[in-house]
Amino acid sequence: MSSYIQSGMPTVESAFGDESLLELSIVVAAYNDWLALESCLGSIAPQANGPRFEVVVIDDGSDITAPERIRQWARHFP
């Protein structure tokens, strides 16, 4: 995924390969509660008719490694 600044607005390369203006960043902090994180990501994923957004998940020093099913969410939010 490429990311750079153009005209003062961040842009991202979408899953379809075109570049589009990013309108919103959703930041989710997580600490050892992977079920809650999965529920949160599951509620964000179907938001297809809103503004273009990115999801940034921040692991706040968890001492439990994120399960594979959590890492697979990266495909939903390119």
Q: 60-73 pLDDT, tens per residue?
A: 889 998 888 888 88
When divided into structural domains, the chain yields a total of 1
67 in a structural domain: yes
Q: Which domain holds residue 57?
A: 23-78
pLDDT category of residue 27 using cuts at 50, 70 and 90? very high
11 in a structural domain: no
17 in a structural domain: no
| Cα 39 from Cα 29, distance rounded (Å) | 13
Beta bridge partners of 28: 57
16 in a structural domain: no
51 in a structural domain: yes
pLDDT category of residue 3 using cuts at 50, 70 and 90? very low
Token couple for 74: 């990266």
| Cα 74 from Cα 23, distance rounded (Å) | 19
49 in a structural domain: yes
HEC string of the chain? CCEEEECCEEEEECCCCCEEECCEEEEEEECCCHHHHHHHHHHHCCCCCCCCEEEEEEECCCCCCCCHHHHHHHHCCC
46 in a structural domain: yes
